[in-house]
Amino acid sequence: MSGAQRLDKIYPALTARERALLVLQAWQDDTDEDRLVRSTMPAAQVTDFNRYIELMNATNQKIGVFILAVRLLVDHLSLRFGWLLTVLLLGAEVKEECRRRSRVDDLWEIHVKALRNGITKRWTELRSAEEVLNEIGQQFEVEDPTIPSLREVVESIRGDLLELREKGGPYLGDLDLPGPDEELTKQLRELADLPDSAD
């Protein structure tokens, strides 16, 4: 009996979750899924299988778009930090010449406030997205349904925010990073069609 014949006998015995994990593996490997995953599925598994596919779509498309938007906003914070350093350099020159309060001080305060608020806000958004992604992942039990490129974006956001907090520390002061925002987490759960945690 060839390997293909043995697999043909295994496919009908798969559960809906096992079928979804095979589809997920194909997505993560950026390959075509095996047609037998769906064609050998008993009708009684279709609803459960479709729910897993919906969760995968929610992770990589709906929540994924939110994560990409957060990525863009974090990039904006990095630019703002560059502006802050420019104001720092410009301010030193102006203060040496003028010895009075200047508009540079106002610019400094604007950038510091925007950076502090921005880092905190983006962190809570990241934590909310991670919480929902973890909840979705628990549905799969053994596999993270996030495609690798999206997982890399999540990790890059985390790294960049921590770096901004560290590098900005001398200028921004102590900056505690809070947990997820409850309202945003609830909205992301709704977007992914997950039950509210209070349910």
Do residues 27 and 60 touch, judged by C-beta distance below 8 A? yes
Interval 162-173: pLDDT, tens: 999 999 988 888
Q: What is the pLDDT of residue 38?
A: 87
CA angle 30, 133, 123 (to 5 degrees): 115
The single residue listed with the structure tokens 């925002």 is: 181
Q: What is the pLDDT of residue 36?
A: 85
Q: What is the pLDDT of residue 103?
A: 61
The overall average pLDDT reported for the chain is 84
Interval 182-191: pLDDT, tens: 999 999 999 9
Single pTM value for the model = 0.80
Helical H segments across the chain, by residue range: 3-10, 16-28, 36-39, 46-57, 63-98, 103-140, 148-172, 182-191
Q: What is the pLDDT of residue 72?
A: 93
Interval 87-119: pLDDT, tens: 777 765 555 554 445 565 677 788 888 899 999
Among candidate residues 26, 15, 10, the one with its CA nearest the CA of residue 145: 26
The single residue listed with the structure tokens 């934590």 is: 127
Q: What is the pLDDT of residue 105?
A: 66
